[in-house]
Amino acid sequence: MNQTEPATDSVVEAARGIWLVRGGSSNWIIVKDPESASFTLIDGGYPADYPALVTSLGLLGLRPQDCAAALVTHGHVDHIGGLQRLEADYGVPVLCHADEAANLMGPDREQVTLARIVPQLWRGRVRRWLRLALSLDALEPVSITPSSAFRDGDRLDVPGSPTVLHFPGHTSGASAFLFDIDGERILVSGDVAVTAHETLPGGAPRAQLLPPMFHRDRAVAGASLERLLALKPDVLLPGHGPALRVG
């Protein structure tokens, strides 16, 4: 199987009508409207994940042109790479936090740099992650002009009606999305909280931060993680790693 084609077990229904899809390294989330063909997409993987992104929609009987909006947790290339083509090919509107627009548009963004990576290359996990990221076209230029911006506390008029929660630190406008589905609180956390990553030690999935080199401000990111966990969601859908039942 081509690395850009998702296995069917990589498309997991975490709650009624909401799926977590595990791409080449990062995740995206699909939220279906129960009364129409419309859906919300959250994040979109690396640039090379685009075929897998489209395939994952097809596995759920969805068409890219029926995407009501693509919401962005943050503007790193492993989360917006696939959205660039989705916007170009199908005119899908892309929305982000007001403080995150510059990270989507580039060319300068709050992304891990070679200056931060090189001192960590003695770690085998970092070398393996870097090889994987490069194979997923991490260096391909990505630029998206957001259709509109949201702010902390906004309830978005898209399938699932999520509430925006601003959690800076990983990036300036890093955001999570809170859904209420069948009485459960489903929290899409992006990289505010991950449950696994190629650069982290193995073990049972748990809510945690990425290594310090990935954050704009590690201290603020740590405080955001604590605030996020204090919300006590029932299910956490992270930017990397499997879904985690918290409650």
Q: Half-sphere exposure of 62 toward its Cβ, with a 13 Å CA cutoff?
A: 25
**pLDDT tens, position by position, 137-151:** 999 999 999 999 999
pLDDT at residue 88 tops 60: yes
Which pLDDT belongs to residue 102? 96
* Nearest-angstrom CA–CA distance, 79 and 192: 13
> Which of 5-9, 138-142, 196-200 is predicted with the least confidence, judged by mean pLDDT?
5-9
From the list 74, 46, 70, 75, the residue with the least C-alpha distance to 57 is 70
Cβ contact 45:3 at 8 Å = no
Residue found under tokens 């999570």: 176
Which pLDDT belongs to residue 105? 96
DSSP codes, 169-232: TSSTT-EEEEEEETTEEEEEEETSSBS--TTS--SS---BPPPGGG-S-HHHHHHHHHHHHHT-
The pLDDT confidence band at residue 86, using thresholds 50, 70 and 90, is: very high
Cβ contact 241:195 at 8 Å = yes
| Percentage of residues of the chain with pLDDT beyond 70 | 96
Amino acid at 221: A
The pLDDT confidence band at residue 31, using thresholds 50, 70 and 90, is: very high
pLDDT at residue 2 tops 70: no
Mean pLDDT of the region 217-242: 97
CB count, 10 Å around CB of 29?
Answer: 27
* Nearest-angstrom CA–CA distance, 44 and 104: 12
Which pLDDT belongs to residue 83? 98
Cβ contact 242:11 at 8 Å = no
CATH of the domain spanning 8-245: 3.60.15.10
DSSP codes, 113-132: -HHHHGGGTTSHHHHHHHHH
Collect all residues with Cβ–Cβ distance below 8 Å to 234 and sequence separation of at least 6: 184, 185, 186, 245, 246, 247
> Which of 2-11, 125-134, 210-219 is predicted with the least confidence, judged by mean pLDDT?
2-11
pLDDT at residue 7 tops 60: no
pLDDT at residue 1 tops 80: no
Mean pLDDT of the region 48-75: 97
